[in-house]
Structure 1
Amino acid sequence: MDTITHHNINNTLKVSLNNSMSYQAYRSLMGELVATHSTTGLDKSEDMVGYTILNEQRMKRWDKTLKVSAEAQEKIARFKGDVTWLVLTESWCGDAAHVIPVINKVAELHPTIDLKLVLRDEHDALMQQFLTNGGKSIPKLIMIDTASGEVLETYGPRPTGATMLVEDYKAGHETITTEFKEILQGWYNKDKGQNTIEDLLSLLGLH
């Protein structure tokens, strides 16, 4: 990465971090959106509002039921770094509704993992720096060294198992269908966040 690009990313990160919200604030925002029949993002269509309502229910369920094994908790406790996890998201994103509660649970287990969230459509300059295969896929986690501001690693938009599922389907089909979205939701429900926990342990170098 050349110094100009690095400098630009640093400035974009600083602006985004200054505008970021905590997980609790994001969950409050989700509740407010449901109450006012609205959604985040540039597209305020009924479909997007409907997805936001559904995702609020999903996140509420994961907040209550997600389990982090004792083994995973022991590994997280061994983390020696001091990092900020800055996550790009939107309320209508189904993957975000399944993944971000897991990210939060892991962050809560270590005092030097600081989770911050920003909305993708309000932070396009940041999103443009962290595209996935040229697309604005979310959720996207940017792991930053809190002291230096250096970007250490990124993660997302999906856990490794879900990514393989999507790539296998795309290899044989032109577009993602409604039927496939149901299959993907079933995968998340069966996995119960465990693949994401494993991925996050890898992200932290704890395997």
Structure 2
Amino acid sequence: MKFFSTPAALVQDALSKSYSYAEYRKLVTDLIAEGKSTGPKQSADLLQYSELNEARMSRLDKTSEIYPEIAAQLEKLPHRQTWIAITEGWCGDAAQILPYINKMAEVAPNVSFKCVLRDENPEFMDYFLTGEARSIPRIVVTDTDTFEVYAAYGPRPFEAAEIVRQYRDKYGVIDEKLKIHLQKWYNKDAGMLIQREFLSLVKL
């Protein structure tokens, strides 16, 4: 069943500008070496966030694991799927989520995983807004052969999204205190909710 009315041509256009996960990681690393972040906007803060995320992703690439019961179901996915992550190197939630999505894709024979930059694909991004915001990451689940879009995940696991919502309602901001709290939540969860929530979307 098709859930999003995203034009197939728009999906194809995004894929034409996509990176493999390894290419995306290298792009972010190379830009940091040049003192830059991804995206047209450059600042000391965005570079600092990119550097922090580089360290997090490197750690998770090495240490994160897919739960055996989830891997077993991914191995049996019957339909060819392409998962497209809308992301940027400075995005903290993307750094926590993408390593797990990549490892899920690696154990699924019928899945290809690609990354696209949000600010290079504004029209594609605008089909997957969170409310009215271009929040990332968004992991878009598409049919590899027809380019139909079946689901979109993100920008955060449910519990993490609730933490942000409650904090914003109480204090009116997203600040460093909240970001530290989120980091602790991600560390404690160890990818469990990400894997369970995303699996529920891709079991077509």
Q: CA RMSD in A?
A: 1.5
Q: C-alpha distance in 2, partners of 1:53/1:196?
A: 23
Listed one character per residue, the Cα deviations across residues 113-170 of structure 1 (whole Å, up to 9, x for unaligned) are 1111110001111111111111000001111111211111111111122112112222
Q: C-alpha distance in 1, partners of 2:8/2:146?
A: 10
Partners of 1:85 and 1:143 within 8 A in 2: yes
Q: Which aligned pairs between 1:1-207 and structure 2 lie closer than 5 A?
A: 6=5, 9-205=7-203
Letter in 2 for 1:56: E
Letter in 2 for 1:171: D
Letter in 1 for 2:144: T
Identity of aligned residues (%): 40
Q: Normalization by structure 1: what TM-score?
A: 0.92
User: What SS class does the counterpart of residue 32 from structure 1 fall into?
Assistant: helix
Q: C-alpha distance in 2, partners of 1:86/1:199?
A: 16
User: What SS class does the counterpart of residue 106 from structure 1 fall into?
Assistant: helix
How far does residue 22 in structure 1 lie from its aligned partner after superposition?
A: 0.2
Listed one character per residue, the Cα deviations across residues 19-51 of structure 1 (whole Å, up to 9, x for unaligned) are 111001011112112211110012210110111
How far does residue 17 in structure 1 lie from its aligned partner after superposition?
A: 0.6
Q: Which moved more, 1:192-201 or 1:94-103?
A: 192-201
User: What SS class does the counterpart of residue 129 from structure 1 fall into?
Assistant: coil
User: What SS class does the counterpart of residue 19 from structure 2 fall into?
Assistant: coil
How far does residue 173 in structure 1 lie from its aligned partner after superposition?
A: 2.3
Partners of 1:98 and 1:188 within 8 A in 2: yes
Partners of 1:9 and 1:126 within 8 A in 2: no
Letter in 2 for 1:100: L
**Which segments of structure 1 move beyond 6 Å, counting only runs of 4 or more?**
none
Q: C-alpha distance in 1, partners of 2:177/2:21?
A: 31
Q: C-alpha distance in 1, partners of 2:171/2:182?
A: 15
User: What SS class does the counterpart of residue 142 from structure 1 fall into?
Assistant: strand
Listed one character per residue, the Cα deviations across residues 65-123 of structure 1 (whole Å, up to 9, x for unaligned) are 00112222112122212111011100000000000111100000011111111100011
Q: Normalization by structure 2: what TM-score?
A: 0.94
Q: C-alpha distance in 2, partners of 1:76/1:13?
A: 23
